[in-house]
């Protein structure tokens, strides 16, 4: 039994970051129904099916198509929303209102509804209607300018920060908080999650922002003790051309590293209190170059085994093929297979949150678009003749 068994969620999302909150809740037992737009020219064939089934953020969900621009589609959607616990939408502000499906309209019929909106800049403010993507939010939040080496353009960290760590995880948390509040008040509420807001919040939690508001010490790219310029927190190349990460920000761990590489004299380059925002000085950079030469004398995996035994914070820089074979990742069931009734085993990343009594599970691969349309409509009491008429009108697919 999942912790969210019995919770019904409607999802209107066209991009994976807005789909991920529903997936996280579906993993824990929620019944998530994706509402997708009918597309007569939708791709078909085995390649499209395979890619669809492996879509991580859509697993454990059902799918139906519904044309929300049509009066019939809007009427069906209102019936669905009247019985839902949660609605998740990822459109720009104003779109749901034009469809007659904004929070104010739906809450009249279902005051217990938790309505989560994920948008770039939130539901209000001067930027609310602007288009943007992850890199744009990172740049405006002051995050992008801090990532990478000082003498180069900023490094783009995939779309992990604003999209997923930001909007997706905050969206799922916001929904759970609103559901918890509903247990006390009996009322739902609007959860307004902005990609930009969440990125600013994540930045504020980093060590190099610790003294900005108190002392005016602004971090800069490539500087600070996590910027990569100090020997104790850096990426080193090994003899076989692979990479190794050393992250010994505690003095005793750095001492372990220095002893393990046969250079206990370098322990004096442990992290210092003044290194939160400044870059490494000439002597510290020279120490890093000495260590670079030492690390090049052995292969990556050889160094890893030696340093792990020496109680050092060390990591191998994997490619994805190596990651999925790592013994720790496989032991923690972070790579799993779900059996599809037609297409056989479908490989998935596992459930990251491990609950001891009510664990999450990967019960089904992502659905094909409109896979559950007829079943959902039958549950609403719509007969076969009416379903056929809706399909003929293009209300459903």
> Which residues are within 8 A (CB) of 17 and not within 5 positions of it... i.e. 6 or more apart?
90, 118, 159, 163, 164, 167, 168, 195
CA–CA separation, 377 and 137 (whole Å): 39
Q: Indicate whether 39 pLDDT > 90.
A: no
Residue from 134, 201, 132, 131 nearest 164 by CA: 134
Q: Indicate whether 49 pLDDT > 90.
A: no
Helices (H), the chain: 16-27, 46-53, 71-82, 95-98, 103-109, 134-140, 169-185, 195-204, 212-215, 251-260, 282-295, 300-309, 320-323, 327-331, 373-379, 384-393
For 233-317, CATH number?
3.30.1540.10
Superfamily of domain 8-202+331-393 in the CATH hierarchy: Crotonobetainyl-coa:carnitine coa-transferase; domain 1 (3.40.50.10540)
3-state secondary structure of 240: coil
Instruction: Check 133, 190, 340, 374 and give the catalytic one.
Output: 133
Task: Give me the mean pLDDT over the 25-50 stretch.
Answer: 90
In DSSP terms, 234 is beta-bridged to: 246
Please give the radius of gyration of the chain, using alpha carbons only, rounded to the nearest integer: 25
pLDDT band (50, 70, 90) for residue 235? very high
In DSSP terms, 8 is beta-bridged to: 31
DSSP 273: G
Please give the backbone phi and psi of residue 195, each rounded to the nearest 5 degrees, phi first. Answer: -55, -40
Indicate where the chain has its CATH 3.30.1540.10 domain(s).
233-317
Q: pTM (2 decimals)?
A: 0.94
Task: Give me the mean pLDDT over the 193-219 stretch.
Answer: 93
Indicate where the chain has its CATH 3.40.50.10540 domain(s).
8-202+331-393
Neighbours of 389 (CB within 10 A): 14
Instruction: Check 85, 102, 163, 197 and give the catalytic one.
Output: 163
Neighbours of 381 (CB within 10 A): 8
Q: Indicate whether 208 pLDDT > 90.
A: no
Q: Indicate whether 45 pLDDT > 90.
A: no
314 and 304 in contact (C-beta within 8 Å)? Answer: yes
Is 163 one of the annotated active-site residues of the chain? yes
pLDDT band (50, 70, 90) for residue 46? confident
User: For the segment 239-260, what is each residue's pLDDT rounded down to a tens digit?
Assistant: 999 999 999 999 999 999 999 9
So what's the pLDDT on residue 47? 84
Half-sphere exposure of 77 (CA within 13 A, CB side): 28
User: For the segment 330-389, what is each residue's pLDDT rounded down to a tens digit?
Assistant: 999 999 999 898 889 999 999 999 999 999 999 999 999 999 999 999 999 999 999 999
CA–CA separation, 44 and 186 (whole Å): 44
CA–CA separation, 247 and 271 (whole Å): 11
Q: Indicate whether 187 pLDDT > 90.
A: yes
């Amino acid at each position: 039994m999942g912790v969210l068994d019995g919770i019904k969620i409607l999802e209107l999302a066209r991009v994976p970051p807005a789909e991920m909150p529903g997936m996280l809740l579906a993993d824990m037992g929620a019944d998530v129904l994706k509402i997708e737009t009918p597309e007569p020219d939708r791709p078909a064939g085995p390649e499209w099916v395979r890619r669809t089934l492996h879509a991580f953020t859509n697993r454990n969900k059902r799918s139906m198509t519904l044309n929300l621009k049509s009066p019939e589609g809007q009427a069906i959607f209102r019936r669905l929303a009247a019985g839902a616990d949660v609605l998740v939408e990822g459109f720009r502000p104003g779109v749901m209102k034009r469809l007659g499906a904004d929070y104010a309209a739906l809450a009249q019929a279902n005051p217990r509804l938790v309505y989560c909106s994920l948008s770039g800049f939130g539901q209000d403010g001067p930027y609310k209607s602007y288009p943007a993507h992850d890199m744009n939010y990172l740049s405006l939040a002051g995050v992008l300018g801090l990532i990478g080496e000082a003498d180069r353009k900023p490094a783009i960290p995939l779309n992990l920060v604003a999209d997923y760590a930001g909007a997706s995880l905050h969206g799922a948390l916001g929904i759970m908080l609103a559901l918890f509040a509903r247990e006390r008040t009996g009322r739902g509420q609007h959860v307004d999650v902005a990609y930009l807001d969440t990125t600013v919040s994540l930045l504020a939690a980093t060590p190099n922002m610790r003294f900005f508001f108190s002392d005016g010490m602004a971090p800069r790219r490539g500087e600070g003790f996590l910027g990569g310029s100090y020997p104790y927190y850096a990426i080193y190349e090994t003899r076989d051309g692979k990479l190794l990460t050393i992250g010994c920000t505690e003095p005793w761990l750095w001492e372990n590293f220095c002893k393990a590489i046969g250079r206990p004299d370098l322990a004096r380059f442990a992290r210092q209190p003044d290194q939160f925002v400044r870059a490494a000085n000439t002597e510290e950079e020279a120490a890093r170059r000495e260590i670079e030469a030492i690390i090049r004398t052995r292969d990556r995996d050889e160094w890893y085994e030696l340093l792990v035994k020496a109680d050092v914070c060390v990591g191998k820089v994997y490619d994805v093929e190596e990651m999925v074979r790592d013994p720790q990742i496989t032991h923690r069931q972070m790579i799993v297979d779900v059996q599809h009734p037609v297409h056989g085993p479908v490989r998935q990343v596992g459930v990251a949150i491990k609950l001891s009594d009510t664990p999450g599970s990967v019960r089904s691969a992502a659905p094909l678009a409109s896979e559950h349309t007829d079943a959902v409509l039958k549950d609403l009491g719509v007969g076969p003749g009416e379903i056929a008429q809706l399909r003929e009108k293009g209300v459903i697919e």
